[in-house]
Structure 1
Amino acid sequence: MSQHGIHTVDTAFQRDHFDACYLIVENGRGAFVDCGTNHSVPLLLEAIARAGLTPADIDWLLVTHIHLDHAGGAGLLLQHLPNARAVAHPRAAPHLIDPSRIVAGATAVYGEAEIARSYGQVQPVAAERVVVAADGHVVDHNGRPLLCLDTPGHARHHYCVWDARSVCWFTGDTFGLSYRELDGPQGAFILPTSSPVQFEPDALKQSIARLLAYQPQGMYLTHYGRVGETYAQVEQLAQALYEQINAMAKLGQDFESHPDRHGKLLEGLTALYQQRAREAQVPLDEAQVHEALAMDIELNAQGLACWLDRARR
């Protein structure tokens, strides 16, 4: 079922309902926001068929940022979409055309075996098929404007996509993570993502405020799905993100010089999210909450460390 022609596609990265991309259909033409990995490509082609389109009907692939769970499959996907062009942040576009540096960076974090397993061989995108989206760039999706706004904080090569038709943002990782199994009686349980290597707390809060200025009715997250049905709900989620970004930054500063900094960050982040999960009456026990968030806790600890080290330099 789609709302405003927006189809949520599970890219099957890591597990079900962990990593989404979106197919926006407008009068018989399609645009993807993000695309997952090489392994996701068959699922995106199936989604095109389910929406009653063909690969030739897809005009755009908007890549919110270049992290491989969002854009790793871009080169391979475009080999199947003869008319589509990729839209990338000015800092991201060179890495779509030559992905070697981004793959090397991810390999340093995850190791070669994990890169091969999770992402496959990342393919380049031909330079002539890449459109550079500076702040305020508007993609004309068959008469439906999609506005790209620069939103650093999670990464400096990140934009979010405003769709006035649905009164919603496609937020990549700027508006955090929210897994549906953690939904509580008050709705979505949300947390920021500070994954390596460009987390900047103040910039992230400013980016969230920039999104709120449009009074969105909902947010389409990569991890995972839509959150919020009204502006009041979105504003409440933003408040939760602000509080946690501040708490995470304080945690980083508290343990900046600790000999076991990484261990202390893992411990502190776990305690922070467990406490908030209890307050939100998340329907999982502590062990299940930890299982759902273990990878994000590890990455957030690494991201905080990158931020602390960069500030020190």
Structure 2
Amino acid sequence: MGATHGIHTIDTGFQRPQFDAAFLMVEQGRAAFIDCGTNHSVPAMLAALAAQGLGPEAVDWLILTHVHLDHAGGAGQLMQHLPNATLVVHPRGAPHMIDPSRLVAGAAAVYGEAEITRSYGAIQAVPAERVREAADGAVIDLAGRPLLCVDTPGHARHHFCVWDARSHSWFTGDTFGLSYRELDVDGRPFVIPTTSPVQFDPEPLKASIRTLQARAPEAMYLTHYGRVGDVARLGAELAEQVDAMVALVREACAADDGDNLRHARLVDGLTRYYIQRARAHGVADAAAVVSAVLGMDIELNAQGLLVWQARNAAAAIATPL
């Protein structure tokens, strides 16, 4: 199989080029998809199969790292094309694949109904008999190639990562952050955490990152975007940034002057922080690049941090020392 170990990166076409990836793994003529993008991504997924000389009947598994719509929105429609496939998902995510109404409503609350329709299309349910729940430690067999599912909360409580011993790599969904190729410098990737709403939790996220690093992986396969190496450095930087981002949201919320001002302060603080890091990384024209490449992620990170801060503050009031 060469250096790729039968792993192929698929650009799902969501939002912009090299923003949202899915992965095709081929083993002895059988195939698995890991994440799948949106309904609009289905033609690209099927084309990736055809490029490997395979038809839809060769796919045994569609594995979802979690059920956020940029990873799983096209699952129902894609499964209609894959007659032999079983969908594999975290136990907390399985109900949302079988009945996606609550998932869609939650996404619409964050992005707005018009954006959901534009970006994702009509989300299709997956028949319950075609869904397999993968609890922590579950092993998926792809033609004798074991794929280990490990619970990795922090970005979402319905998130697992997939360990592939053959490539000595993880498929990380959003647990190992975002790393866009536009921010690479001399082949060195740049990474930031993703704290999008509504289940971000900093300590579980840092623990999950440590879990991934404990296997000393050769590479990480990120949905946003693609394969990255230099894993030890990136993991340390992610943990450092999670702590810094928590400090920024606490600073933004220190004054009781309204949600809009807190949000604006946090967006400004995150923007300045990422620009500083990008400059230190060697990114030319860091301010313009961060604004262009990370603008949407900064907005979502701010929303998720504020949701976490509000939840954390409410819990502290409910359970005083």
Q: Same fold (TM over 0.5)?
A: yes
1:41, 1:186 → 2: CA distance? 30
Counterpart amino acid of 1:154? H
**Bigger shift: residues 3-12 or 182-191:** 182-191
Amino acid in the other structure paired with 1:130: V
Give the equivalent residue in structure 1 for 2:77.
Answer: 76
- Which residue number in structure 2 is paired with residue 225 of structure 1? 226
Give CA-to-partner distance per residue, 1:248-280, whole Å, 9 cap, x none: 011111122432110011011001100000000
User: Partner residue of 1:154?
Assistant: 155
Stretches of structure 1 that go unaligned for 5 or more consecutive residues are none
Deviation at 1:59, TM superposition (A): 0.4
- Contact kept, 8 Å, 2:86 with 2:130, in 1: the verdict is yes
- Aligned-residue offset at 1:286: 1.5
Identity %: 63
* SS of residue in 2 equivalent to 1:196: coil
Amino acid at match of 2:278: A
- Partner amino acid for 1:247? A
Give, in whole Å, the separation in 2 of the partners of 1:34 and 1:26: 17
Partner of 2:248: 251
Determine if contact 1:216/1:234 at 8 Å carries over to the other structure. yes
8 Å Cα contact 1:139/1:146 also seen in 2: yes
The one-letter code matched in structure 2 to 1:238 is G
- Name the residue aligned to 1:86: 87
3-state SS in 1 of match to 2:146: strand
1:291 aligned partner: 292
Q: Is contact 2:185–2:282 with CA below 8 Å preserved after alignment?
A: yes
In the alignment, the residues of structure 2 paired with residue 86 and residue 277 of structure 1 have an alpha-carbon distance, to the nearest angstrom, of 38
Distance 1:16 1:310, change over 3 A: same
**Alpha carbons 2:278, 2:286 under 8 Å: kept:** no
Q: Which runs of 5+ in 2 are unaligned?
A: 315-321
* Maintained 8 Å contact 2:170/2:217: yes
Query: 3-state DSSP class of the match of 2:4?
Result: coil
CA apart distance, 1:2: 6.9
Q: Spell out structure 1 runs of 4+ moving beyond 6 A.
A: none
- Correspondence for 1:28: 29
- Structure 1 residues 285 and 255: CA distance shift in structure 2, 3 A: closer
Question: What TM-score results when the alignment is normalised by the length of structure 2?
Answer: 0.95
- Tell me what 2:233 maps to: 236
Equivalences for residues 28-177 of structure 1 within 5 A: 28-177=29-178
Deviation at 1:284, TM superposition (A): 4.3
Aligned pair count reads: 309
Structure-2 change in CA distance of 1:95 and 1:224 (3 Å): same
Secondary structure of 1:86's counterpart equals strand
For residues 99 and 118 of structure 2, the distance between their equivalents in structure 1, rounded to whole angstroms, comes to 21
Q: C-alpha separation between the residues in 2 aligned to 1:254 and 1:286?
A: 22
Displacement of 1:184: 1.1
Paired with 2:63 and 2:10, the residues of 1 have a C-alpha distance of 14
Shift of 1:287: 1.3
Report the Cα offset of residue 146 of structure 1: 0.3
TM-score (norm 1): 0.97
Q: Give the distance between the partners of 1:4 and 1:149, measured in 2 at CA.
A: 21
Query: In the aligned structure 1, how far is the partner of 2:40 from the partner of 2:107?
Result: 17
Aligned residue for 2:15? 14
Q: CA deviation at 1:283?
A: 3.7
Aligned to 1:195: 196
Counterpart for residue 213 of structure 2: 212
Cα deviation 1:69-100 (Å, max 9, x = unaligned): 00000000000000001000010000000000
Q: CA RMSD for the aligned pairs?
A: 1.1
Partner SS for 1:47 = helix
Q: 1:184, 1:245 → 2: CA distance?
A: 22
Using the alignment, how far apart are the partners of 1:192 and 1:7 within structure 2?
Answer: 24
Aligned counterparts of 1:184 and 1:5: Cα–Cα separation in 2:
27
Aligned-partner residue type, residue 144 of structure 2: G
Secondary structure at 1:278's aligned position in 2? helix
1:148 and 1:50 map into 2 onto residues whose CA distance is 27
Report if the CA contact (8 A) 1:189-1:282 is conserved: no
Q: Give CA-to-partner distance per residue, 1:42-66, whole Å, 9 cap, x none.
A: 1100001001110000000000000
